[in-house]
Amino acid sequence: MSITSTSLKYRNTFSLAVKAADLIVVDRIELMLKVWQQTQNRKMPLLVLGEGSNVLLLEDFSGTVMINQLKGIHIREELYAWHVHVSSGENWHNLVCHTLKIGIAGLENLALIPGLVGSAPIQNIGAYGIELKNVCEYVDLLDLFTGAIDRIPVAECGFGYRESIFKHQFQTGYIIVALGLCLKKKWQPMLEYGSLSQLDPAIVTPNLIFHFVCSLRRKKIPDPHNIGNAGSFFKNPLVSAAKFSSLISKYSSMPHYPQANGQVKLSAGWLIDQYELNKYRVGGAAVYRNQALILVNENNATSKDVVDLARYIRNSVASRFDIWLEPEVRFIGAMGELNAIEVLSCKNGQVQ
């Protein structure tokens, strides 16, 4: 366990210049428990961070930031599938690369999603027609109050579109320490989403999909090492069939994806694009020129710049389409996570 700088500028992919009272890197579960106990004794908040890839740090954090570096990948082969047990401090994209390298397919559509394995269940990460819930077998959850590790089967994880129980009842006092994946040996490509439909299913391979997805993502999402960002800032909204019918009658080119429950998923990027906000700025924050769904720290942006920009976009889309976009990025205040919608609904303390 080591105490490093209190600066979080290089611990969040937005590269926002915020600080924490303490910053501690841990690589063992017993150290996680020790840090938790210390923060409880001091009555200080605790924030667990991986690579800071899906968070917006609104201000200096008043407590201890704990950086998760639990490592380990263990693979068990059975007749019809590989079972992969991976520690939560492993990098997600490196896991995708590792499994493909040793001949295990199934994660290729999820290539280049930033962050650690431990963040994947919280958001139920997904891309190009695949979500984590499609390959997840279980989540190992550390109860900081008791020290016990509970194995939560996938059916009890409450997975939905960017949703899980880990965002709600297990948000405080619990840490995801490992993830179990089941990758079937009988591989079937998922080519139904977006540009992947261009690929020929007769000749496609897992590695071909992997490189195709990586190419698509690199065109749309800037490397946070070069320009600060947290990936897709807003979720793609889900609307009722009646609402969609009304919208498509006015906007025939609107991208849409019917869901099994009767709802229709719309493209948040397309909705934002209708305002031609490419390179729109608020202070040092801007809309990324290649993808309207990405907000970037273009020139030493403050957290307020990003919030004000997100609020402007959200209000603009609502005024035209009567659709309120919800942030995908988690908002973190001085004492912990805040309700992102409430933050964007307030201006100068007044709810709009």
Q: Does residue 298 carry a catalytic annotation?
A: no
The helix-helix angle for 92-101 and 206-220 (nearest 10°) equals 150
What pLDDT is attached to residue 348? Answer: 52
- The C-alpha R_g of the chain, in whole angstroms, comes to 20
Please determine, for residue 349, whether its predicted confidence score (pLDDT) is greater than 70.
no
> Residues 298, 299, 300, 301: is their CA dihedral positive or negative?
negative
What pLDDT is attached to residue 236? Answer: 95
**Average pLDDT across the chain, whole number:** 93
Of 105, 18, 70, 102, the residue nearest 334 (C-alpha): 18
What pLDDT is attached to residue 11? Answer: 95
Q: How far is CA 248 from the centre of its chain?
A: 29
What pLDDT is attached to residue 2? Answer: 41
* Percent with pLDDT over 70 in the chain: 97
Give the separation between CA 49 and CA 110, rounded to whole angstroms.
Answer: 21
Please determine, for residue 3, whether its predicted confidence score (pLDDT) is greater than 70.
no
Mode of pairing for the β-strands spanning 330-332 and 337-338:
antiparallel
Please determine, for residue 44, whether its predicted confidence score (pLDDT) is greater than 50.
yes
Q: How many residues are present in the chain? A: 352
Are the C-beta atoms of 52 and 330 separated by less than 8 Å? no
Q: How would residue 194 be classed by pLDDT, with cut points 50, 70 and 90?
A: confident
CA distances from 297 to 7, 75, 114, 125, 239 (A): 17, 39, 17, 23, 30
What pLDDT is attached to residue 193? Answer: 83
Please determine, for residue 318, whether its predicted confidence score (pLDDT) is greater than 70.
yes
Please determine, for residue 346, whether its predicted confidence score (pLDDT) is greater than 70.
yes
Give the separation between CA 21 and CA 23, rounded to whole angstroms.
Answer: 7
Phi, psi at 275, each rounded to 5°: -100, 0
Where do you find CATH 3.30.43.10 in the chain? Answer: 2-68
Give the separation between CA 96 and CA 197, rounded to whole angstroms.
Answer: 21
2-68: CATH architecture: 2-Layer Sandwich (3.30)
Lowest mean pLDDT across 20-29, 101-110, 268-277: 268-277
Give the separation between CA 220 and CA 215, rounded to whole angstroms.
Answer: 9
Q: Which amino acid is at 131?
A: E
Q: Does residue 151 carry a catalytic annotation?
A: no
pLDDT (average), residues 296-321 = 96
Where do you find CATH 3.30.465.10 in the chain? Answer: 73-217
What pLDDT is attached to residue 32? Answer: 97
Structure token digits, residue 301? 């942006």
Mode of pairing for the β-strands spanning 46-49 and 20-26:
unpaired
Please determine, for residue 220, whether its predicted confidence score (pLDDT) is greater than 50.
yes
Q: What is the pTM of this model?
A: 0.91
What pLDDT is attached to residue 1? Answer: 42
Of 273, 296, 274, 293, the residue nearest 283 (C-alpha): 296
Catalytic residue among 51, 131, 298, 328: 328
Where do you find CATH 3.90.78.10 in the chain? Answer: 222-351
* Beta-bridge partners for 192: none
What pLDDT is attached to residue 347? Answer: 65
pLDDT (average), residues 183-194 = 92
73-217: CATH architecture: 2-Layer Sandwich (3.30)
pLDDT (average), residues 278-288 = 91
The CATH topology of domain 222-351 is 3.90.78
* Beta-bridge partners for 83: 76, 182
Please determine, for residue 160, whether its predicted confidence score (pLDDT) is greater than 60.
yes
Q: How would residue 350 be classed by pLDDT, with cut points 50, 70 and 90?
A: very low
CB within 8 Å of 197: residues ≥ 6 apart: 191
Q: How many CB atoms lie within 10 A of CB 196?
A: 19
Q: Does residue 162 carry a catalytic annotation?
A: yes
Catalytic residue among 119, 232, 303, 330: 232
